[in-house]
Chains A and B, each alone.
Chain A
Amino acid sequence: MKALLKYDFLYMHKTTKIFIMIGLGIFLAALSVLTARYMSELMQYAMTQEGIETVDVPTPTVQDAYVQFYSNMQQIFFLVLLFIAGAFFSKDISKGIDQWLFARPVSRVHYMLSKTLIIHLLGLFGLFVSALFFAYSTVFVFEGFEFWRFFGSLFIFYVFILFFVQLVMMLVSIFARMLWAMLISVVFFFVLSLFNTIDSGVFKYMPTKLPTIALDFINGEATVNTLLWSLGLGLGLSIALSILGIHLFNKQLYKQ
């Protein structure tokens, strides 16, 4: 397992995926703060240029920064990580490197666990660095930054990422190719997001609701019930997808 972790880490390091995620995280963090801070000025400038009468735009607050941060993380960071995960889970088999790996005393279960662990370490590390940069710069620009609530909300947001990464892993185990796994995951993400407006039954706790719940948590608006159910469902589904993915991976290898 240690050797597999090292092998997977080498891939992330040598193909600069680590630096891409850190760089992207820092860029998005900076962008979030700047967009939140200067959004009203930008809007007023744009309206003046178009000859539209200026309207009063409320003074930006730290809440706007949180919203911008999670919006950027969900729209860009999450999707980039999802594509890296798709490539990472499928690369050995689609390129034929699996023959070299599995001619050695390598457990197939350990192989998948190692990949899962490394992709999440990459995601968590990238998100954490981004959050640190965001927190540091937000403190200088806005007042009342909620440190502990913000870092707690990262965990809620990461469960959302965890669910979709495990979905990609499971789909790669079925199709053995990145393309179909990514296509289905992204379509699934957008379709599931459509149900975000439904606020009853199981729809209240869908994994796509987690970024909103993370924001509610920072603002102290998330109920314990919502938190427990959403996190429980997200984690439970992720574990189920992982087990199914490993099971299907064994079958897929044998199918080729």
Chain B
Amino acid sequence: MLSITNLKKTYGTIEALKGINLNVRKNEVYGFIGKNGAGKTTTIELILDFIKRDSGNILFDGIPVENGDFLYKDKIGYVPDAPVFPKYLSAKEFLKTSIELSKNTPIDHEKQVSQVLQFVGLKDNTQKIGGFSRGMKQRLSIAQALIHKPEFLIMDEPTSALDPVGRMEILKLIKALSKSMTIFYSTHILEDAEKVCDTIGLIDKGKVLLEKSTDKLFENRETTQHTLVTNHSNEETKKVLNTLKTLKNVSVKNEMLRIELGDTQPFTLFEKLHEANIEVRTFKEEKKTLEELFIEVTDDESTA
């Protein structure tokens, strides 16, 4: 649905994007994750032609997008990170204007506006947008992005300013919408991305460091680790484990030892601990969180 190759953008002397490549398939939720300032919003602004790219290609639905093109946007819905809409309009007037600005909408505008307002819980609201709370604006932002029935939804940090309940609602909404459209979901909240995304694209310092399906991302050994609890202190246990040269990593997190086995077999590890009179109480395999993976990948990149 969306293919980006070698996309570059520079602001003065700052290289915001250093030739990124992305591939978003039809009907998937693509999680575009990265820290603040990694280049997520710049990428979105280039996709939507808000800013001019230095070089690179954008292919949307099989058609190349050039600077100044606008017709392709009819298939796109956009939820900005900080929604700003005309204060003097009511939600209904605003959505009517939004749908009228779209080109190919052979639908009953009144009915569509009413349905979408109901969907976001603003149906009976007659207030002007100027009087809306942050949460209401966010819901209206989603409504305006869906009003023209887009095929591709771009969401730029939609949960960053919401409370936990609001966040959960948005994630549920993404799940529900993913059945009928492609979603490009930009966030720095990795926990959210992990819950809803089919594919993860990880961006840091203007470079896409990793692009994989969420399943593949966690299926291999590199993305699993073990937690270990013994009858000795973590420090004492760690000292013993550090003598095993084949162990990849031993760290303490949340008062538990976390071990990446690398080439070490669990049996070898137990034997070593037994020799030191350390009794194993819990040894459990668990997948790395996206957060841990993210830190690992970005750390690797900065040390490279």
Contact = CB atoms under 8 A, between A and B. Distances in A.
Nearest to A4: B101
B84 A100 contact: yes
A15 B93 CA distance: 14
Q: Is the interface of B mostly helix, strand, loop or mixed?
A: loop
Contacts of B148: 104
For chain B, the bracket of interface size reads 20 to 34
Contacts of B76: 103
Contact of B89 (A4, A14, A106): A14
A222 interface: no
A99 interface: yes
Given A105-B71, A106-B70, A95 B97 contact: no
B100 A15 contact: no
B68 A105 contact: no
A201 interface: no
Interface string A75-105: 0000000000000000000011101111111
Contacts, number: 76
B132 to A, nearest CB: 14
A3 B100 contact: yes
Contacts of B101: 3-4, 7, 101, 104-106
Interface string A93-121: 00111011111111110000000000000
Contacts of B78: 99-100, 103
Interface residues of A, number: 26
Contacts of B70: 102, 105-108
A97 B86 contact: yes
B73 interface: yes
Contact of B97 (A3, A102, A103, A256): A3
Contacts of A96: 82, 84
- Which 5 pairs between the two chains have the least Cβ-Cβ distance? A103-B78, A3-B100, A96-B84, A254-B52, A14-B88
16 contacts: A10-B86, A11-B86, A14-B88, A15-B88, A97-B85, A99-B78, A100-B83, A102-B50, A102-B70, A103-B48, A103-B76, A104-B73, A104-B102, A105-B101, A254-B51, A256-B50
Interface of A: 2-4, 6-7, 10-11, 14-15, 95-97, 99-108, 250, 253-254, 256
Given A7-B101, A103-B48, 13 more contacts: A6-B100, A96-B82, A97-B86, A99-B78, A99-B80, A99-B84, A100-B78, A102-B50, A103-B50, A103-B76, A108-B70, A254-B51, A254-B52
